[in-house]
Amino acid sequence: EVQLVESGGGLVKPGGSLRLSCATSGFTFTSAWMSWVRQAPGKGLEWVGRITSNGDGGRTDYAAVVRGRFVLSRDDSKATLDLQMNSLKTEDTGVYYCTTDEGVWGNGTSVIVSS
Amino acid sequence: DIQMTQSPSSLSASIGDTVTITCRASQYIGIFLNWFQQRPGKAPHTLIHSAYILQTGVPSRFSASWSGTEYTLTISSLQPEDSGTYYCRQSYDVPKTFGQGTRLEIK
């Protein structure tokens, strides 16, 4: 069974940093293209960024609103995906989901940016 | 960025009804279109990929089609568990963009 389990969410002050992780199992992570999607409270879904497989260059792409502040990385040896979030803003508050390009979603981890 | 215009923003229907949700892309996206369902308080899950292909395990009362840059999700024989919010998303180019969502209420 394919599983994605996010962790690392929490409460952080504006300007602070947080690192989210996504532990995966049940599929060939090394060839998977992976994304993060977030959802602000009461709002719709927003794509955050994507990382290709290392075989496809390990290329990262980001939404304009997070580019320069967020960094995607992957560890194929552990089948994990990370999202390093820096210079956090209150508008980064929401639930962050890890997803595969094949359409599997994790259950999300909550990030609250507040003073 | 590619804009996805989804309609309606909400609808209400009865058990057994058929409903249709539409997304229009601002440019050509081919079949790079997904549909997602999000039940209240839950994570989204994928219903349709590649514009019309049902994800494994999704009931056959869900179907999808497209014409040009207009994409349609149809839910027939509505069931209580179909209540929730539905989103389209293009994966033709980055940034991947979502429609605004359609909230479906089952009367």
Nearest to A103 among B34, B96, B98 (CB): B34
Per-residue pLDDT of B35-86, as tens digits, reads 999 999 999 999 999 999 999 999 999 999 999 999 999 999 999 999 999 9
Q: Are strands B102-106 and B10-13 parallel, antiparallel or unpaired?
A: parallel
- The mean per-residue pLDDT over the stretch B97-103 comes to 98
CB pairs under 8 A between A and B: 46
Cβ contact (<8 Å) for B44 and A35? no
Please judge whether A105 and B94 are an interchain contact, meaning their C-beta atoms are less than 8 angstroms apart. no
Question: Chain A partners of B97 at a C-beta cutoff of 8 Å?
Answer: 47
CA atoms of B54 and B64, how far apart (whole Å): 8
Distance CA B34, CA B58 (A): 13
Cα–Cα distance for residue pair B86/B34, rounded to 1 Å: 11
pLDDT reported for residue B4:
98
Give CA–CA dist B79/B107, Å, rounded.
10
Average pLDDT over residues A38-61: 97
Q: What are A14's two structure tokens?
A: 């504006």
pLDDT in tens, B72-95: 999 999 999 999 999 999 999 999
Paired strand residues for B10: B103
Residue A15: which region, alpha, beta or left (left: phi > 0; alpha: psi -120 to 50)? left
pLDDT (tens digit per residue) in A53-109: 999 999 999 999 999 999 999 999 999 999 999 999 999 999 999 999 889 999 999
Residue with tokens 């794509």, as numbered in its chain: A47
Residue B2's pLDDT is 98
User: Do residues B98 and B89 lie in contact, with contact meaning Cβ atoms separated by under 8 Å?
Assistant: yes
Per-residue confidence (pLDDT) for residue A102, from 0 to 100:
85
pLDDT in tens, A12-30: 999 999 999 999 999 999 9
At residue A49, φ and ψ (nearest 5 deg) are 180, 170
Q: Helix, strand, or coil here: B86?
A: strand
Cβ separation B96–A107 shorter than 8 A: no
Closest CA in chain A for residue B43: A107
